[in-house]
Amino acid sequence: MIFSPLPGEFIASAILRGNETLGIKGIKTNDFRIRKIPASHLKCKSSCSIEFPELLSNNDIAIQTLYENTLYPLCAVLGHSDIQSKFTPLSHWKICLQCVIDDIDCFGTAFIHVSHLPPSVNFCRKHTTKLYNFCPSCSKPITKHEISKFYICRERYIQTPSILNLYAARYSQFVHELLSYRNKPFYYRSIECLIHSKLITIELFNHFGSIRETIHEETNRYFLNEATHKNIGAAIIDYQAAAAFFAYNTATSYLTDVIALQALNQL
């Protein structure tokens, strides 16, 4: 069973809520996993390159879910929508304690926010508070936490104060706004060249060594969560997102250049 996802809800969260209503414990990976199909596996050139779970058999619903309830828009706008991309991550889900409280008060249920999923997003963009991989009340990993049990756990949540003008919080806002992208995906190298050219133009990393090495160092320093992330797809998308943030600071500035690049490529 799948409930209609709430605004900004991760698709797995919606399915999990539906399962719990039916008394089904947990969720199967194949019920929510969305991924890119290798070109060699396509039966014909006109075939859709995205593989959806059976629960999303309606094509219109599947496409809407892809753009509104997964990390696909972020991957697309950063040029990383290939077979390594993790549109629906299987682990390292996170929560903002204040979001849990607000969501229960507003919607009657807590849920997993798509914008909290990237490993490098460590703070809630709305409340500028820390995100948690483990429930501070029951100590369960958020990935294994029952949605309905957040109602009980929230009673023990201690609200952490907002930290204004926090660098990582501004980055979280940047990622959140990129998730609004709705056009065709870009090639990774095109976006990487665009970002690196911008970094060189603004002379941000001229006094450092390699731009790649510097971006990785700065990402680890400022953005990565407490959990260890060995996922190749996650590492690449985090690198590209962090590089874009260092180069442009705002999603509006980045999207302006991306749209201009898209128009140029169509000439």
3-18: per-residue pLDDT in tens? 689 999 999 999 999 9
Residue 267's pLDDT band, with cuts at 50, 70 and 90, is: low
Residue 247 resides in a domain: yes
Residue 238 resides in a domain: yes
Of 9-23, 54-68, 209-223, 227-241, least confident by mean pLDDT is: 227-241
Residue 236 resides in a domain: yes
pLDDT above 90: percentage of residues in the chain: 46
Q: Is the pLDDT of residue 70 over 70?
A: yes
Burial 76-102 (b: 16+ CB within 10 A, else e): bbbbbbbebbbbbbeebbbbbbbbbbe
Q: Is the pLDDT of residue 250 over 90?
A: yes
* C-alpha distances in Å from residue 226, one per residue of 98, 208, 230, 262: 19, 26, 13, 36
pLDDT above 70: percentage of residues in the chain: 84
pLDDT in tens, 165-224: 577 888 999 999 999 999 888 888 889 889 988 888 876 665 445 677 777 777 666 665
Residue 64 resides in a domain: no
- Residue 58 half-sphere exposure, CB side, CA atoms within 13 Å? 5
**Mean pLDDT of all residues belonging to the chain:** 84
Count of structural domains, the chain: 1
E strands in 88-244: 95-96, 131-132
Residue 237 resides in a domain: yes
Number of Cβ within 10 Å of residue 196's Cβ equals: 16
Residue 143 resides in a domain: no
Residue 227's pLDDT band, with cuts at 50, 70 and 90, is: very low
Tokens found for residue 194: 């665009």
Residue 194 resides in a domain: yes
Q: Is the pLDDT of residue 31 over 80?
A: yes
Supply the range of the domain harboring residue 249.
180-265
Residue 118 resides in a domain: no
